[in-house]
Structure 1
Amino acid sequence: MFKGNLLFMFGKVALILSMALAILVGCATKSNSFNQSEKETEKQDQKDGYKIALSNSFAGNSWRSQMLNVFDAYAQKKKDAGEIDEFYSSSSGNDPQAQINEIRNMISQGYDAIIVDASSPTALVPVLHEAVERGIVVVAFDNTVESDKVYNVNTDQVEFGRIQAEWLMEQLGGKGNILLIKGIEGIPIDEDRDKGHREVLAKYPDVKILAEGFGDYDDATTSVVINNMLSAHKSKGIDGILTQGGGENAIVEALKQHQIDPSTIPFTGEMLNGLFRHMKESNVKAFATNQPPYLSAAALDVALKVLNGENVEKNTIVPLPTADNADLDKWYVPGQPDNFYVTWTDPENTFKLELEDVLK
């Protein structure tokens, strides 16, 4: 009898506990559903006003400074238009760990998108994947990253080399002696541009490379390289100079020092204000292209498209800007230094920027 009563009591308790558990699960489910719905509502409310951050690595040259200025100016326009609530940019230096720490801070601060000019194509991947897993849109540009979870925005650096070499071959009629000045030894950009140069040069057996060297994309290094080349090969006759860019001033000055009229030697370079000044003042014949600072604005556009639900390719190739002497008046900016990149906006100015917007 006692045993039966005990079983009955245990059965009753079990039933009560089961009912209580069901109620708790139901409440939890309702609570989770409510929270999820609340988050979706918040996202919906937020869709026209995002928080965007840009994480830059190295900031020690004029290109990086202009790139950041372009981003800030364009982001401000987007904020004024109500598409962005908040934007922020920072530079952490070339140490990947410092940039990783900065990106982690951005993740914790709840940014909707993080735009990255990476210090490493691989070291940043884990922290960027962490951001993606938290629903943050990640866009890398210029120095991109090796990940199919991240959107990459860049130019075609092999094409960069091709169009430079093609222009020079047109000027020389496909024959003659040239000097070849590359960039920084061992970096991917130099290797890609050099590949483009050689793809074109291979089609012209009557073109002879008298000498080649690394100019490091700066006037100081290029000055040493070009003066050594001219001293050794001037007597053989130099018809053109194929250079990736960054040492345009050094090339013009070296030609003058060796009593060669700069207007008689066509050469290639980057779209720096100094090159256009030499076109104007010394009638230099040149062709220019470059990695445009407005890549940061293009990356911001990609981030906003993804946030707004548009279907965007993982890799966006931005067309290279180009110019020669015929474009002098369009690109030359009197009053700006020689190291000012004239490509502060794209040729059509689709970003609707003014020069004053990016000068700081």
Structure 2
Amino acid sequence: MYKRILPIALLSAAIWSCSGSEKAGGPVIGVSMLSLQNEFVVNVADEIEKKAGEAGARVIIVDAERSALKQVEQVESFIAQKVDAIILNPCEVEASSPAVEKAKAAGIPVVNVNSETNAVPSAFVGSDDVEAGRIAMRYINEQLKGKGNVLMMHGYMGQAAQIQRDKGAKEILAQNPGLKLLAEQSGQWDRSKAMSLTENWIQSYGPQINAIFAQNDEMGMGAVKALTEAGLKDKVIVVSIDAIPDALAAVKKGTLNATVFQNAAEQGSKAVETALKLIKKEEVEEKVIIPFKLVTE
């Protein structure tokens, strides 16, 4: 899927080398990402690497592989290496919180990017995932003219985006009693798992399905594939979030009805800018919120 996905040790070495390791004495930022098998997360990581290189900083980017425990261990390693700042893309709201607490206790500023923790970081850079859920479900409501059966595909349970996108979507469902939530289940942000889940839903609900809200594009694309193979795509609205290239191409083609654009490049860039300001002990905004935008054909 992503031509540069590497094992953690190789990835770290590669990023050390291409982020300006020749610029000795520059600040070092440790970066732990939720999953480098996820295209959106990879896009954020790419921008972090690019922005850090331009600023003369060095980054160590590691893959938490969806494990909050591994993420905490990675932050402990960053602390031992005495990095100047940490950028955290949290795996879970609660279970990744010790990573934030440990970094702050060690006097190292930590910037949460894209996703939140219960523990309060030095700063947060991301988007309002509650609003993303609202935008997606409002679109479904408009397309169904306020009446129909909806399925909701969750991301990785306990992760901030999953919790908040669920909250936003259900606010709109509560305001529109003509919409019925037939079922909801996790597709774990994963395309193949989402395809299998959609196949199961087709067997269970078949022609009752009017719309699917997938909490990210990877899952949305999996849902589209399953519906297409079952000959149902023209009868079911599918909306997802992130606006990754595959999803944008599918919206243009008309197979994915809509996606909600989340700006990976700006999140990555602002996270590095914020981390560098914190290293210099400059004032920063506690929350940098980057708006979502609906994308249709």
Question: TM-score, normalising length from structure 2?
Answer: 0.76
SS of residue paired to 1:180: strand
User: Counterpart in 2 of 1:99?
Assistant: 74
The answer to whether the 8 A contact 1:177-1:209 is kept is: yes
**Number of aligned residue pairs:** 263
Letter in 2 for 1:242: F
Local SS of the residue matching 2:156: coil
C-alpha contact 1:52 1:87 (8 A) present in aligned 2: yes
Give 1:286's aligned residue.
258
Within 5 Å, which residues of 2 pair with 1:204-219?
Answer: 204-219=176-191
Match of 1:197 in 2: 169
Q: Which amino acid aligns with 1:122?
A: S
Tell me how far 1:294 sits from its aligned partner.
4.1
Once residues 304 and 310 of structure 1 are traced to their aligned partners in structure 2, the CA distance between those partners, rounded to angstroms, is: 9
State yes or no: 1:90 paired with 2:61.
yes
> CA offset at residue 123 of structure 1?
1.7
Q: CA deviation at 1:51?
A: 1.1
Closer, same or farther: CA 255–320 of 1 in aligned 2, 3 Å: same
Q: Which amino acid aligns with 2:80?
A: N
For residue 70 of structure 1, report the CA deviation from its aligned partner: 1.1
Query: Are positions 1:122 and 2:97 aligned together?
Result: yes
CA–CA distance in structure 2, aligned partners of residues 293 and 200 of structure 1? 29
Select which of 234, 247, 252 maps to 2:206: 234
In the aligned structure 2, how far is the partner of 1:292 from the partner of 1:311? 24
Larger Rg: 1
Distance in structure 2 (CA, Å) of the matches to 1:177 and 1:149: 39
For 1:129, the aligned partner's letter is K
Kept in 2, the 8 Å contact 1:137–1:307? The answer is yes
Q: Deviation string for 1:74-128 (max 9, x for gaps)?
A: 122223xxxxxx3222316341453133222342x6x3x3333345432224431
Query: In structure 2, do the counterparts of structure 1 residues 299 and 234 end up closer, same or farther at CA, with 3 Å as the change threshold?
Result: same
Deviation at 1:239, TM superposition (A): 2.7
Report what 1:69 is aligned to: 46
**Residue 201 (structure 1) shift:** 0.6
Output one character per residue of 1:256-288: Cα deviation in whole Å (capped at 9) or x when no partner.
22222x344322113122222223345542233
Using the TM superposition, give the Cα deviation of residue 145 of structure 1 relative to its aligned residue in structure 2, in angstroms.
4.3
The whole-number CA distance in structure 2 between the counterparts of 1:149 and 1:66 is: 22
Q: Secondary structure of the equivalent of 2:98?
A: coil
Q: Displacement of 1:291 after TM fit? A: 7.0
Q: 1:264 to 1:279 in 2, by over 3 A?
A: farther
Q: What's 1:255 paired with? A: 227
- CA deviations on 1:193-215 (whole Å, 9 max, x unpaired) are 11111101111111122333222
Query: Quick one: distance in 2 between partners of 1:60 and 1:104?
Result: 22
Residue in 1 aligned with 2:214? 243
Amino acid at match of 1:156: D
Q: How far 1:148 moved relative to its partner?
A: 4.8
CA distance in 2, matches of 1:212, 1:97: 30
Q: Distance in 2 between matches of 1:78 and 1:224?
A: 44
Aligned 8 A contact 2:263 2:290 in 1: no
Q: Which moved more, 1:221-230 or 1:280-289?
A: 280-289
Taking the aligned partners of 1:96 and 1:71, their CA distance within structure 2 comes to 18
Question: Identity across aligned pairs (percent)?
Answer: 23
User: Separation in 2 of the partners of 1:189 and 1:232?
Assistant: 27
Match of 1:53 in 2: 29
Q: Are the counterparts in 2 of residues 265 and 285 from structure 1 also a CA contact under 8 Å? A: no
TM-score (norm 1): 0.64
Shift of 1:146: 4.2
Matched, 1:163 2:140: no
C-alpha deviation, 1:66, in angstroms: 2.7
Measure, in 1, the Cα distance between the counterparts of 2:163 and 2:139: 19
2:150 equivalent among 178, 181, 191:
178
Report if the CA contact (8 A) 1:117-1:142 is conserved. yes
How far 1:230 moved relative to its partner?
1.9
Per-residue displacement from partner, 1:21-64 (whole Å, max 9, x unpaired)?
A: xxxxxxxxxxxxxxxxxxxxxxxxxxxx9514132154441333
